[in-house]
Amino acid sequence: MKQQRGFTLIELVMVIVILGVLAAVALPKFVDLRSDANTAATQGVAGALSSASSINYSQRSINTTKGFAVANCTDVSQGLQTPMPAGYSIGALAVGPGVTVSTCVLTNANVTPSVTANFTAIGIL
């Protein structure tokens, strides 16, 4: 008599049940990654703006013909190598000249709800 090989129906059903339970537990964690990614992207752009402000202040302090004047938070976006991504906006806040450091707000309106992050701007004329 020939012996048959393979999985029984009970074994197959148990594997499907275990995979279903794992998927039900893991799925909410992956869905939440989208909001974490949006927050991280917004913080990355805010970090780039803060860095651009610091570099501009250093350049402008050494030679007034280099860099650009910063009197408002929105002026800092001039220091980025590429244009600011679409959907991002900077809150208009006056920045005093000199060593005045202001905290500015960056908003990412590409997502719902919108995500905000803070960056520092150093005023210089």
Residue 99 has pLDDT above 70, yes or no: no
Let me know if residue 20 belongs to a domain.
yes
Spatial neighbors of 87 by CB under 8 A, at least 6 apart, are: 108, 109, 110
Distance CA 103, CA 107 (A): 13
Let me know if residue 73 belongs to a domain.
yes
Let me know if residue 91 belongs to a domain.
yes
By the 8 A CB rule, do 77 and 84 touch? yes
Let me know if residue 36 belongs to a domain.
yes
Residue 60 has pLDDT above 70, yes or no: yes
| pLDDT tens digits along 77-93 | 999 988 988 999 999 88
Per the DSSP assignment, residues forming a β-bridge with 103 are 120
Let me know if residue 3 belongs to a domain.
no
- What pTM, to 2 d.p., does this model score? 0.74
* Number of domains making up the chain: 1
Q: What is the pLDDT of residue 89?
A: 93
Let me know if residue 117 belongs to a domain.
yes
Let me know if residue 27 belongs to a domain.
yes
Distance CA 123, CA 91 (A): 15
| Parent domain of 96 | 9-122
124: nearest Cα among 81, 82, 79, 72: 72
